[in-house]
């Protein structure tokens, strides 16, 4: 089914908004927004784009959709959306209050791409800035580069006027990190190999004990959107793998991995095991499949199959000889068709649903899985 609408002025009826999710008054109030193009605008994101509001009225996808349909630049709208999640201390996988690395320091990754402008920017292992997506945008707009990391990224952010916080941990994220640290390093010594296995096992134990939800061991937000003129943009932002090796950067800030947007064909971004996605640059693969005319769902399946094919190391396989991790993709094509796909059917709520916002409001939609069962 295509998401195209007749080429005519399309008045967003306030009454149509909010049917699904109790989209808020703020959006309903905008009952006379004029859409001039022939694409039905849509915003898609990972689960947390629906659940997190940082104490406000709108979630990420509603905020982005509202701004897009008011005529704001699509990327600005998406970033305003993910800023809500980055600033929300309750989301322990993104921005402020994100899970720290193995040394207890929150290092954030983000990238963004502007389809029509063919511009991109990203930051990796950035410390002290709550909204890395805005720094990624500053890299895009104010430098000749696509990716800046570590101290350099922080210096750049400071020069661009961003506030540098001493610590992005919340009391809760610090407490859980300490809990993890005590499990793996009781004597302040373990050989590096044992230490990394111990780190992973300690995290799994903590998930089992219900101390942290599974989706926060990994955890990210990717958010993509299209306006009625077909302008496509995307942004991904994360604190990365919980208690990661300092300096570790996953797929999220890497163009082609955590996000890829080709303004002429589509946008795709990911959450889940970053290393698996990074290896195959799968968001790029998804968009290349869209370029070949595939539907977003089929394009996503190609990427999941590629990840499955590339996963041959025993330590990454479950008893069924299949990947022992999940990866999700969130996809929109140039016609405004969209899909959310995942490696497994059975997963946490966060992995088996994705968020969308259309003129009918926002809702969670089940992802299309490649494989049955779960990752274990």
Min separation Cβ 309 and ligand ASP, Å: 19
251 binds ligand ASP (CB under 6 A): yes
Give the whole-angstrom CA distance, residue 237 versus residue 370: 25
* Cβ atoms of 307 and 281 closer than 8 Å: no
CB under 6 A: which stretch of 6-14, 172-180, 271-279, 299-307 binds ligand ASP?
271-279
252 binds ligand ASP (CB under 6 A): yes
Min separation Cβ 278 and ligand ASP, Å: 8
Q: Which is nearer to ligand ASP, 99 or 334 (CB)?
A: 99
Give the whole-angstrom CA distance, residue 13 versus residue 29: 10
CB under 6 A: which stretch of 47-55, 163-171, 235-243, 362-370 binds ligand ASP?
235-243
How many C-beta atoms surround the C-beta of residue 363 within 10 A? 18
Radius of gyration of the chain (CA): 20
100 binds ligand ASP (CB under 6 A): no
How many C-beta atoms surround the C-beta of residue 320 within 10 A? 12
| Catalytic, out of 33, 63, 131, 220 | 220
Report the interhelical angle of 74-87 vs 60-69 (nearest 10°): 160
Place of tokens 């330590």: 315
Bridge partners of 236, per DSSP, are: 111, 222
Tell me the residue ranges of DSSP E strands in 108-262: 108-114, 119-126, 147-149, 221-226, 232-238, 259-262
Token pair in block for residue 22? 């109790």
To the query of whether residue 220 is one of the catalytic residues in this protein, the response is: yes
Q: Which is nearer to ligand ASP, 169 or 220 (CB)?
A: 220
89 binds ligand ASP (CB under 6 A): no
241 binds ligand ASP (CB under 6 A): yes
Using CB under 6 A, which residues numbered 200 to 219 contact ligand ASP? 218-219
271 binds ligand ASP (CB under 6 A): yes
Quick one: which of 132, 230, 274, 300 contacts ligand ASP (CB under 6 A)?
Answer: 274
Query: Looking at the annotation, which residues are catalytic?
Result: 220
What is the contact surface with ligand ASP in residues (CB under 6 A)? 218-220, 238, 240-241, 250-252, 271-272, 274
């Amino acid at each position: 089914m295509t998401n195209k609408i007749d080429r005519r002025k399309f008045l967003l009826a306030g009454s149509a908004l909010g049917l699904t999710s109790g989209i808020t008054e703020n959006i309903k109030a905008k009952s006379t927004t004029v859409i001039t193009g022939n694409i039905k605008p849509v915003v898609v994101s990972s689960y947390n784009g629906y659940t997190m509001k940082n104490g406000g009225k709108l979630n990420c996808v509603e905020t982005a959709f509202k701004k897009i349909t008011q005529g704001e630049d699509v990327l600005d709208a998406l970033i305003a959306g993910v800023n809500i999640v980055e600033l929300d201390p309750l989301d322990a996988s993104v921005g402020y209050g994100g899970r720290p690395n193995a040394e207890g320091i929150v290092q954030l990754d983000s990238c963004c791409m502007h389809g029509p402008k063919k511009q991109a920017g990203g930051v990796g292992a950035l410390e002290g800035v709550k909204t890395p997506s805005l720094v990624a945008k500053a890299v895009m707009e104010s430098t000749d580069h696509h990716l800046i990391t570590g101290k350099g990224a922080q210096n750049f952010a400071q020069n661009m006027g961003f506030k540098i916080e001493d610590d992005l941990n919340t009391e809760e994220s610090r407490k859980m990190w300490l809990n993890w640290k005590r499990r793996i390093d009781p004597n302040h010594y373990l050989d590096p190999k044992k230490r990394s296995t111990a780190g992973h096992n300690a995290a799994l134990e903590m998930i089992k004990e219900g101390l942290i939800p599974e989706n926060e061991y990994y955890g990210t937000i990717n958010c993509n959107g299209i306006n009625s003129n077909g302008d496509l943009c995307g942004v991904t932002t994360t604190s990365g793998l919980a208690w990661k090796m300092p300096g570790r950067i996953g797929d999220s800030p890497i163009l082609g991995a955590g996000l890829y947007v080709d303004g002429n064909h589509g946008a795709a971004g990911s959450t889940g095991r970053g290393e698996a996605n990074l290896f195959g640059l799968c968001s790029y693969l998804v968009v290349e499949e869209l370029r070949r005319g595939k539907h977003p769902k089929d394009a996503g399946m190609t990427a999941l199959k590629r990840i499955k094919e590339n996963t041959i190391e025993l330590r990454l396989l479950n008893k069924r000889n299949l990947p022992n991790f999940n990866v999700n993709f969130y996809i929109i094509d140039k016609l405004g068709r969209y899909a959310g796909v995942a490696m497994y059917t059975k997963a946490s709520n966060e992995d088996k649903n994705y968020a969308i916002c259309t003129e009918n409001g926002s809702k969670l939609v089940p992802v299309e899985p490649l494989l049955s069962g779960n990752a274990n």
